[in-house]
Structure 1
Amino acid sequence: MEYAEIEKEASDRLDRHFISVWEDCDALVAEGIREFRDRWANYSVHSHRKDPRNHLKDAHADIKKETDKRPIGELILEVLDPKVSAFLNSLPETHLYFFPTPYLNIDYSLLQASKAELSIPEKTARERTIKFGKKFREDTPLTNLIVMMGFKDTHDAIKQQLRHFLKTEHQCRPVDFRFQATVDNLLELLWALHLTPTRFRHHSPDIKINARRKQTYCELCGQRNELAEYFYRLDNNLLDLNDLQEANDQQKTKLQLSHRYCAHHRPRNKDGRTWNPAYKSALQSKEQFEKELRRLQLHVAGAVEYRPVLDDEELRSLSAEELIDRYVYLFLEGKTVTQEHVQAYFEYVKHNFKCPIAVEGETKRLIDEAAVRLTGAGTLLGADDEGKLRDIARQMVDSRLTDRKKQILVLKQGLNQTQISERLTELEGKKISPQAVYKSLHSTDSNFRI
């Protein structure tokens, strides 16, 4: 029971990087697998880097690019190979045949025969053995196999030998159970490495695109970056003739898709020679854009609660930054999902579906309709609507909605222009005329008035 609790805790901590350790697994190999699963997020099966960047060594695994991670072979050599080698050396000689290694049941069985007597698979394995023979070491059994065959073929070869062991030599002795559990555990680890997503996706037989690059939003607005947009349209069969023609035109060079910017904000125009003015303009206001986005995200997530503006005395108690926060609250009022919406939705589900249900068919349709009706899903802003919030932040910046305009719009709820100018003069410590207030009000985009 204690062992299961330890594994459950490790599973919760490591999430998708978890690899289970079998209870009967050899103690040395189990120790190696635990260390491997704690560290392998920082390594990649796609990386061939010799010396990773120093400033990324301590970075969290999830924020590293695959090209910034260290090769997974380094971790296997350091953590697993010594443990597996010690495990194999501790086995009776009869068990060694059932774990494939180039020194025993692969190398000798193939090289003793002439090339003419070998089948096609055996010829391929023999050529691999000759090619990589100089790299084989007796204390690196896993690396020898992976270098020669790859993760999947290594997994299949070990699994085939284990099946043969279960059919012929397994006599229910402790050493047999230990051997079986240890090999099964290594098979699980190899399969997890094999299932690591491929780095490339094919647009056509002749064009492949690196799918491990960032596929999120444009850094300057709420649209998908070019790479994400392209894959979205490819997956949903939305590519038009112009897209296909462009890909064919660039087939001999390279299909260039930005993983940082959308088509509107890409640094250079498609001819590759002229700068894009929209990019230059948006880049100059990037800091303000990110500031507006953070404010919107905080308010939509309900991080701060505000009361409606009541009177002049309350306004005079507010600082300039609080006026800006009050503006964001008033601007988003009625546009976001509130706690009342969520509570109404849960009450609906609780009273109409009292027993455990399978959410499919008619039931799923009813719940989806209730979610839209009671929470405003699809129309009101939620905490996960990052794209919409980014678009609003970009529109605020492009329409020159400054912090002063926000302050004026909030103060306008209870004060006239003269009173607003006096309040701003008090806040900023310099003279703000009523005419300046008037000009700011009339130059504010109607979409952002409250």
Structure 2
Amino acid sequence: MEYAEIEKEASDRLDRHFISVWEDCDALVAEGIREFRDRWANYSVHSHRKDPRNHLKDAHADIKKETDKRPIGELILEVLDPKVSAFLNSLPETHFHFFPNPYWNLRHAPVQDSQSEFPLVRNFYRRVSVKYGPKFKAETPLTNLIVMMGFKSAHDSIKQQLRHFMNTEHQCRPIDFRFQATVDNLLELLWMLHLTPTRFKHHSPDIKINARRKQTYCELCGQRNELAEYFYRLDNNLLDPDDQQEANDEQKKKLQLSHRYCTRHRPRNKDGLTWNPAYKSALQSKEQFEKEFRRLQLHVAGAVEYKPVLDDKELRSLSAEELIDRFFYLFLEGKTVTQEHAQAYFEYVKHNFKCPIAVEGETKRLIDDAIVRLTGAGTLLGADDEGKLRDIARHMVDSRLTDRKKQILVLKQGLNQTQISERLTELEGKNISPQAVSKALGVLDVRFFLD
């Protein structure tokens, strides 16, 4: 209980910069994660330089520009790598090699010379050793992976090895639970870093354009921003004749296209004189939109685990936040790629492609078909479906789906309106009438009703 209270206090204090620490996590790594989460707001995942300007030292992290923050790699090297390295070195040999570290895996026999069923991983490490070898150090396990693979691929690689450990080595010993909890905790941290948005992306080098203008999603919804949409249509030969005519003056076109907003949410109308009401409306709800989007991301990625409880007595004991978690669980149920989907695809590839393969031609077609068939790709939501998740978040905000309405939708699964009003009165400490519940249900968008 005391541990939970400490984590709750840290969550309230850090808000969106909070990273949970698992109770069974190795004490040294847990210490590093606590220090990391207290400091990482002042760092950026895409900054490549230090900021020597003294006037920024005491500035609040939230008001700093991303380009004014220091590189996140510095904090990982300082705080996390020594702790993770000490933890890995304390492991027995049976556990040590279940953490993918290119330095150890290249210079020690178990991975390089093993005749295991992971030849693709072994060959990949051998190929990248030429390019990244000088940067690998034994005492920097996380940095080794991030430099070579990035946050997302490093997360996936560690998760694959943990799954292999659970299937082959886990015997419910204390060391097994400690290893599992520690690696799971590092996976959550890497995923949070992956979710931190990159401010700038480069287009192909043959396109003459300001490389510091981002070509991602609109800041207020899930559509591409105007600049990204233009290049997408250009690359796919989808430009209208009017667009082709305007494209003749490239410099003029670059100045007209927004790299922050889509056509619907651009600040001014095309005449350049009048304000766009859709922009003003969406801007007022931007904070709530980002909050809903982050909730969706975390639930889809599995970072927030929730087990539904159907018993009415248990239902009445839930807090408001737990009701909101239940809403996202029930709303996304059947819409997301599950662990069973991923495991089915993993088993398919493992049993059908045991030897190194060139993923092209007929082999590529077979694998693509398997992805669609076994994971529901294209129909189910995955952690990388950022545009779809942003659109859902925008619909939630535009439909005025408040946290109270989410609670009502969940409570509606087993209670009538009078019981719902009593439950909400108990949760909020103020009287909520059945009429207020009925009015809230009457204006809800049917897309968010729970089946």
TM-score (norm 2): 0.55
Superposition deviation, residue 390 in structure 1: 0.4
* Pair 425,200 (structure 1): closer, same or farther in 2 beyond 3 Å: same
Equivalent pairs counted in the alignment come to 271
> Equivalent residue of 1:394, what SS?
helix
Aligned to 2:283: 283
Aligned to 1:64: 67
Question: What letter is aligned with 2:420?
Answer: I
**Alignment partners' CA distance in 1, 2:367 and 2:204:** 38
Aligned to 2:313: 313
Aligned to 1:430: 430
Question: What letter is aligned with 1:430?
Answer: K
Contact map agreement 2:217 2:225 (CA 8 A) in 1: yes
* Pair 403,272 (structure 1): closer, same or farther in 2 beyond 3 Å: same
Question: What letter is aligned with 1:340?
Answer: E
**Alignment partners' CA distance in 2, 1:376 and 1:198:** 30
> Equivalent residue of 2:256, what SS?
coil
What are the superposed Cα offsets for residues 284-326 of structure 1, whole Å, 9 maximum, x if unpaired? 1111101101110110010122222312111111111111111
Superposition deviation, residue 63 in structure 1: 4.9
- Look at both structures and tell me which one has the larger radius of gyration over its CA atoms: 1
Question: What letter is aligned with 2:217?
Answer: Y
* 1:6-405 correspondence runs (5 A): 41-42=48-49, 55=56, 63-64=66-67, 209-248=209-248, 255-405=255-405
Superposition deviation, residue 279 in structure 1: 0.1
Superposition deviation, residue 239 in structure 1: 1.4
Question: What letter is aligned with 1:64?
Answer: T
> Equivalent residue of 2:209, what SS?
strand
**Alignment partners' CA distance in 1, 2:206 and 2:53:** 28
Contact map agreement 2:222 2:386 (CA 8 A) in 1: yes
Contact map agreement 2:202 2:214 (CA 8 A) in 1: no
Question: What letter is aligned with 1:433?
Answer: S
Superposition deviation, residue 249 in structure 1: 7.3
Question: What letter is aligned with 2:367?
Answer: I
**Alignment partners' CA distance in 1, 2:58 and 2:430:** 49
Superposition deviation, residue 199 in structure 1: 9.3
Contact map agreement 2:221 2:390 (CA 8 A) in 1: yes
Q: What root-mean-square deviation, in Å, do the aligned CA atoms of Structure 1 and Structure 2 show? A: 3.3
> Equivalent residue of 2:413, what SS?
coil
Question: What letter is aligned with 1:352?
Answer: N
> Equivalent residue of 1:64, what SS?
helix
**Alignment partners' CA distance in 2, 1:212 and 1:340:** 40
Unaligned runs of 5+ in 2: 1-46, 72-200
Superposition deviation, residue 209 in structure 1: 3.5
User: Percent identity, aligned pairs only?
Assistant: 81
**Alignment partners' CA distance in 1, 2:359 and 2:203:** 35
**Alignment partners' CA distance in 2, 1:329 and 1:238:** 38
* 1:409-448 correspondence runs (5 A): 409-448=409-448
> Equivalent residue of 1:224, what SS?
coil
What are the superposed Cα offsets for residues 253-299 of structure 1, whole Å, 9 maximum, x if unpaired? 96311111111101001111000000000001111101101110110
Superposition deviation, residue 353 in structure 1: 2.1
* Pair 42,432 (structure 1): closer, same or farther in 2 beyond 3 Å: same
TM-score (norm 1): 0.55
* Pair 362,56 (structure 1): closer, same or farther in 2 beyond 3 Å: farther
Greater displacement, 272-281 / 298-307? 298-307
**Alignment partners' CA distance in 2, 1:330 and 1:261:** 31
Unaligned runs of 5+ in 1: 1-39, 44-50, 70-196
What are the superposed Cα offsets for residues 387-416 of structure 1, whole Å, 9 maximum, x if unpaired? 110000000001111111100010011111
Question: What letter is aligned with 2:282?
Answer: A
**Alignment partners' CA distance in 2, 1:253 and 1:230:** 10
Superposition deviation, residue 233 in structure 1: 1.6
Aligned to 1:193: none
What are the superposed Cα offsets for residues 119-159 of structure 1, whole Å, 9 maximum, x if unpaired? xxxxxxxxxxxxxxxxxxxxxxxxxxxxxxxxxxxxxxxxx
What are the superposed Cα offsets for residues 316-341 of structure 1, whole Å, 9 maximum, x if unpaired? 11111111111011100000011010
What are the superposed Cα offsets for residues 165-211 of structure 1, whole Å, 9 maximum, x if unpaired? xxxxxxxxxxxxxxxxxxxxxxxxxxxxxxxx9999787xxxx5323
* Pair 397,254 (structure 1): closer, same or farther in 2 beyond 3 Å: closer
**Alignment partners' CA distance in 2, 1:347 and 1:250:** 50
Superposition deviation, residue 358 in structure 1: 2.1
Contact map agreement 2:247 2:253 (CA 8 A) in 1: no
Contact map agreement 2:345 2:375 (CA 8 A) in 1: yes
**Alignment partners' CA distance in 1, 2:338 and 2:203:** 41
Question: What letter is aligned with 2:348?
Answer: Y
Contact map agreement 1:216 1:224 (CA 8 A) in 2: yes
Aligned to 2:198: none
* Pair 317,211 (structure 1): closer, same or farther in 2 beyond 3 Å: same
**Alignment partners' CA distance in 2, 1:328 and 1:199:** 35
Superposition deviation, residue 250 in structure 1: 8.4
Contact map agreement 2:265 2:279 (CA 8 A) in 1: yes
**Alignment partners' CA distance in 1, 2:250 and 2:229:** 18
**Alignment partners' CA distance in 1, 2:315 and 2:253:** 62
> Equivalent residue of 2:340, what SS?
helix
What are the superposed Cα offsets for residues 49-105 of structure 1, whole Å, 9 maximum, x if unpaired? xx989649999xx9539xx99xxxxxxxxxxxxxxxxxxxxxxxxxxxxxxxxxxxx
Superposition deviation, residue 360 in structure 1: 1.7
Greater displacement, 347-356 / 256-265? 347-356
